[in-house]
Amino acid sequence: MISVKETPFYDKVLKEFNYDFGDIFVFDGFILSEMKEGLTIGWDEHMIRMSEDIAQFTGNDGSDFIYISHRIHSYSIMPSDWLKFYKHSYTLKGYGIVGYTQGSILNAVVENLFFPKKIKRFSNLETAIQWATDKVLAEFED
């Protein structure tokens, strides 16, 4: 479980946002997050700030992006806060979770109750990034 910063993928980062609660990496067509240990991520405390920063940098509401949650640390998300994300007119093309523990898989199941699309689960970062890249490239081939 290493950070994307320690992989060859880091060379492709367009923008990095560093917060006291975690890091966000913007790639071409997808966004990857790595949150800090032990937090409970919520809309008012964390998600609104990330969403606004990303929207300002990219110039869109997220509908052109896939979000990958790279869970290298144990933390949780307020699943119902996904409703607040959509209420504020943000959206995503896709959502993937890279989880290395049973707890991260369980969290994904609960989150999927509030996230309107199917959450894709991965056991490694490489597969998740390939999925996001393939999904972005597929749009250009249509």
- Express each pLDDT in 68-106 by its tens digit: 999 998 887 877 776 777 676 667 788 898 987 766 566
Superfamily of domain 4-137: STAS domain (3.30.750.24)
Radius of gyration of the chain (CA): 14
122 pLDDT more than 60: yes
CA 44, 48, 49, 50 dihedral sign is positive
14 pLDDT more than 90: yes
Q: How many Å apart are CA 101 and CA 108, to the nearest integer?
A: 11
Domain ranges of the chain: 4-137
The owner of tokens 């999925």 is 131
Which residues have CB under 8 Å from 59's CB, separation 6+?
Answer: none
Quickly state the pLDDT bin for 107 (edges 50, 70, 90).
low
What is residue 20's predicted lDDT score, i.e. its pLDDT?
94
Whether pTM exceeds 0.75: yes
